[in-house]
Amino acid sequence: MIRSILLHGLVIAALIALEPMLSEYHHGNLARIMVLATYAVGYNVLFGYTGLLSLGHAMFFAAGMYGCALMVRLAEWSVGPAFLVGVACALIAGIVVGFLALRTIGVGFMIVTLMFAEAAYLTILYYNEYTRGDEGFTIPQSVRAIGTLDLSDTTTRYFAALTLFSICLIASAALVQSKAGRVLIAIRENEDRVRMLGFDPFRYKLLALVTSAVMAGAAGAAYAVLFGYAGASFAGVQYSIFPLLWVLLGGPGTTLGPLLGAVLMFYLVDYASGTIMPGLAALVETQFGIEAPGLASAWLLLVGVALVLLVLFAPRGLLGTVRVRMIPWLP
């Protein structure tokens, strides 16, 4: 337990210490990554620790995002209370979806969550008058403040993202190391045995799903407030797949895996699309005199190959593999 506290404290301290050292570019990236990692931390509670693979988590991210952003846009609330409304929306969505979707298991759970998310996405498009549908809407810089704290300010945004991430990381670590957390892990390993031991798996799975939804919603609300935009694309299936990839990459069932996965995936996409593939296209053009515009856009292939290699050679994710081979106490 002490080692776990020290490790998480060290990671948070490192993120604090990095702030003044980062270039403006990486500073902005890391703020965004921490918000997305918060989303992934929530996803990890459900998938990594409880073994429930949701294909519809974007609905919780979007519930938080729109719950917050619409209160600012339509009711002209300040962003502090609006953020709490966003989290509450995700909480309610988590309870409702949980009660219905947790009646299914395995592939059924995946399909039901996917369908709920699709319904949420189409609802956002349908109420275009309020949500501006696929286009989305901005939250003016002038209202993105809590008291005297300007949330669009680079440093403030970084620490706001770090605060949210730290709270969710600590909460997730505390949960998975608590008695309830051990039951979640036991459900992942053998749900029938958990039931036989006298626990009610439904209650614990609901706890995991609602916790996960609240963290996803908090990340969605934070994205709207910190980056000034809410749009339906965040409710699309792509944004349900992203946290799955981040968690798979970093290590499902490890508390720090979501952060590592989000960081690596962000920079893999960034360098593959902005540097590696366009550079390769330019090289082909200069060396062979062949225009290869398709090569510049083939970065998704590179990302795909990286993920396939990961699944083949490190199926437990990076930190999962580290735990198996080097640090067995890694939380």
Partner 1 sequence: MASADGNDMTKLDRRTVLGGAALLAASGSGLLPGLSGYAQAQSSAPIKIGFQVHRTGIGAAYGRWYDRTTKAAAKLINDTGGINGRPIEIVAEDDGTDPKRGAEVIEKFATKHECDVAFGTLFSHVVIGSAPRAGELKLPYFVVSEGHHVASGMLNRYTLQPGITDVKSQVQSMAPWVADNLGKKVTMIYPDFAFGHDHRDYFSEAIERQGGNVISKIAIPPRETSFFKYLPKIPKETEVLYHVMVGPGVLTFVKEMGEYFGDKRPEIFGFIDSLEAVDITSPGLEFLEGSHFWEGYPRYAGPDQTEHDKFYRAAVGVDNNGASLSDPKDVSTYAHMFGCWETLHILKAGMEAADYKGPKDRQALIEAVENMDVFPESRAHPQGSKLFNGRTHQAFAHQHISKVEGGKLVPVHKTSIFDTYYEDEVDYTKMSF
User: In the complex, which residues of this chain contact partner 1 (CB under 8 A)?
Assistant: 23-25, 27-29, 32, 122, 125-126, 128-129, 132-139, 141, 152, 227-229, 231-234, 238, 269-270, 273-274, 278, 293, 296-297, 299-300
Min CB(232)–partner 1 separation in Å: 8
As to burial, measured by CB atoms within 10 angstroms (0-12 exposed, 13-18 middle, 19+ buried), residue 17 is exposed
Min CB(65)–partner 1 separation in Å: 11
Minimal distance, residue 103 CB to partner 1, in Å = 27
Task: Confirm if 45 and 208 have CB atoms less than 8 A apart.
Answer: yes
* Of 243, 267, 214, the residue nearest 317 (C-alpha): 243
Residue with tokens 């970084």: 158
Residue in the structure block whose two tokens are 């991210």: 61
Helix (H) or strand (E) holding 246: helix 238-250
2 or 21: CB nearest partner 1: 21
CB of 185 to partner 1, least distance (A): 32
Q: Which of 248, 292, 229 is nearest to 66 (CA)?
A: 229
The distance of closest approach from Cβ of residue 225 to partner 1 in the complex, given in angstroms and rounded to an integer, is 11
Q: Which of residues 186 and 218 has its CB atom nearest to partner 1 in the complex?
A: 218
Cα–Cα dist 219/144, whole Å: 16
Q: How far is the CB of 132 from partner 1 (least distance, A)?
A: 6
Q: Are 63 and 90 in contact (CB under 8 A)?
A: yes
- Minimum separation from the CB atom of position 219 to partner 1 (A): 12
User: Closest separation between CB of residue 266 and partner 1, Å?
Assistant: 8
CB closer to partner 1 out of 204 and 299: 299
When the beta carbons of 76 and 192 are compared against partner 1, the nearer one is 76
Nearest to 49 by CA among 202, 205, 170, 217: 205
Number of H helices, E strands in the chain: 15, 4
CA dist 190 and 210 (Å) reads 21
Distance CA 168, CA 79 (A): 20
Compare residues 282 and 324 and give the one whose CB is closer to partner 1.
282
Could you give the 3-state DSSP secondary structure of residue 254? coil
Which is nearer to partner 1, 13 or 290 (by Cβ)? 290
> Of the candidates 325, 323, 324, which has an alpha carbon nearest to the alpha carbon of residue 4?
323
- From 272, 220, 273, 246, select the one nearest 69 (Cα to Cα): 220
For residues 37 and 102, which CB has a smaller minimum distance to partner 1 in the complex? 37
Q: How is residue 331 written in tokens?
A: 């939380």
In this complex, which beta carbon is closest to partner 1, that of residue 102 or of residue 114? 114
Q: How far is the CB of 26 from partner 1 (least distance, A)?
A: 8
**Cβ pair 261, 248 in contact under 8 A:** yes
